[in-house]
Amino acid sequence: TTAWVNAMTPGLHIAGGIGYADGRQRAMSWTRAGGMRELGTLGGRTSVARDVNARGQVVGFAED
């Protein structure tokens, strides 16, 4: 399993992805208070979080 960062706020809210050994990729968000949280796929096979703003709103994509 691997994880990567695509964006980070000055307050250390991180948006990125998790890659699993079986090839799945999932969007993730990380905060000091909540730790790492997988964001799901919206019903598709893959998702990645691309950016996060100062309010903690994460944007990204999911694909089937």
Write the pLDDT tens digit of every residue in 20-59: 999 999 999 999 999 999 999 998 899 999 999 999 999 9
**For residues 3-28, average pLDDT:** 96
**For residues 5-31, average pLDDT:** 96
Cα distances (angstroms) measured from residue 41 to each of 10, 17, 22, 30, 60: 27, 11, 16, 17, 10
* C-alpha torsion 56→20→47→53, nearest 10: 20
Angle at 12 between CA 7 and CA 13, to 5 degrees: 60
| The pLDDT value given to residue 36 | 95
Res 64 pLDDT > 90: no
To the question of pTM greater than 0.85 for the whole model, the response is yes
The two tokens of residue 40 are 């799901």
- Phi, psi angle pair for 32, to nearest 5°: -60, -45
